[in-house]
Amino acid sequence: MTIAVVSAVILPLLAACAADPGSVNEARAGASAAPSAHSAVLPSPPPTTGPSATPSGTLSGTLSGPERSGARSLTGAPKDIQERELAIDPTPDSATPVPPASAAGSLTATIPRSPTCGRPAPTTPAGYQRALAELPAAEWGAADLSLSVPMPDGRVVWLYGDTVTGTDSRHLTSFVHSSAVVQDGGCFHVSRHGAQVLPDDSLSVVSWISAAVALDATHLLVATGQQQLTGDCALCFRSVGVRAAVLTLNSHGDVGFQRWLTRWAPAGGVGGVNWGAGMSRDARNITVYGISRTGYARDVYAATVPVAGVLHATGWEFGSRPIATGIDPAGVSAWHDAAGWHFTTARGGTVVRYDTSAGLDRSRTQPAAYTSAAVGVLPAPRPRQLLYYAAAHPEAHLTGGGLLVTICRNWLSNDQHSIASYRPLYLSARR
């Protein structure tokens, strides 16, 4: 997501949606346009001395010293924050090489772990909301997007988009384009003290996570979109690609970038589709969802690729017909369980779930029929507030058996809002 400074009190974080990692809908420029899964309006620090206009992706007059890829240190931040810079750790875990294709399908691997957390996981949306609020403010303050990836050892990796840190919206200390929080029962650990997960290609080309699955106990596959920042405004960016990366997870709960895949979603299937709007997997195959690139009502397609072949872009099969139409451009959140394949999306003020008991028919490359049902209602937004992108977290066990859903929150006003109001909102929907 990009950043563009539009006033002394707000910071619109790039308006690109997780379901549209490779393109931007021009209609988003209006205040009434459909929000995108990666858009967020976060508060910026009061202006300081320095330039009044900077390229999109920086904080006007607040950057100090040479920038490193993924680091956004702010003047006025505590000295330890400035020295740490919350930068990407460029060295992957030496003990966790990327799995070979022959082993990538296993979800049974185990790794040495730090002692398991003694606190039980939250069982209510309010419990998860409190967990975010209790994270160290110097490492994680607020973010948009909210993807959860259950790991074979029982931990859950939460992946976020543009992320700011600070005790309140007037005292922000850093900004990164992606972050991770690792949940172990009722304990939540900010990965690498808030370091950016994905490296930027340059100061003006950034990466946004759009979907993720576990490859094994120590590796995750993430789909991402690359955007070129082109100016000072909130929509001054353009698509420059879609690709995927392998992340590592170590025993301490730190997530690291390992490498970009050399190929992702080879040519095939329907044209004009961005693959990586959502992902889910069973023991052998990954289902990758793609979304059409333009319009307020998008079409969703499905493809499948063997887990053992995804690292080398082999074995892809593309569905030739959409599995759903009229989808909100903010995107989908997908998962697989014993009942089949599912994804959620926000449609107006409603959370809608799509389900099928069968995946893609690999013999005919035709998608299974999905049924849809309204499973939840978004709260009424406050004036000039946006609520968007319904991400499901089925691994959470809520009291009453509900489906945990997060909704991104955003503001269109130039007023100062509490940093808590930019964090994802946790709700319970019908399973």
Give me the pLDDT at residue 13, please: 34
**Residue 361 banded pLDDT, cuts 50, 70, 90:** low
- Check residues 202 and 108 and name the one with the higher pLDDT: 202
363 torsion bin: left (phi>0), alpha (psi -120 to 50), beta (else): alpha
The answer to which of 40-54, 136-150, 241-255 has the lowest mean pLDDT is: 40-54
Q: What is the mean pLDDT of the chain?
A: 74
Specify the pTM. Answer: 0.77
pLDDT of 53 > 70? The answer is no
Tens digits of residue pLDDT in 155-171: 999 999 989 898 777 78
Task: Report d(CA 241, CA 226) in Å as an integer.
Answer: 5
Pick the CATH number of 11-45+125-429 from 3.30.465.10, 3.30.70.1150, 3.40.640.10, 2.115.10.20: 2.115.10.20
- Check residues 369 and 12 and name the one with the higher pLDDT: 369
Give me the pLDDT at residue 179, please: 97
Say if CB 161 and CB 196 are below 8 A apart: no
pLDDT of 382 > 60? The answer is yes
**134: how many CB neighbours lie within 10 A of its CB?**
9
Give me the pLDDT at residue 55, please: 26
Say if CB 72 and CB 174 are below 8 A apart: yes
Task: Report d(CA 381, CA 421) in Å as an integer.
Answer: 11
Secondary structure (DSSP) of 209-229: EEEEEEEETTEEEEEEEEEEE
- Check residues 57 and 156 and name the one with the higher pLDDT: 156
pLDDT of 299 > 50? The answer is yes
pLDDT of 76 > 70? The answer is no
Tens digits of residue pLDDT in 329-353: 777 999 999 999 999 998 888 999 9
Alpha-carbon Rg for the chain in angstroms:
20
Average pLDDT over residues 69-75: 33
Give me the pLDDT at residue 73, please: 32
Give me the pLDDT at residue 235, please: 59
Q: DSSP E strands: which ranges in 250-362?
A: 255-260, 273-281, 285-292, 298-306, 317-318, 324-327, 333-337, 340-347, 350-356
User: Would you kindly state where each structural domain of the chain is located, as residue ranges?
Assistant: 11-45+125-429
**Residue 122 banded pLDDT, cuts 50, 70, 90:** very high
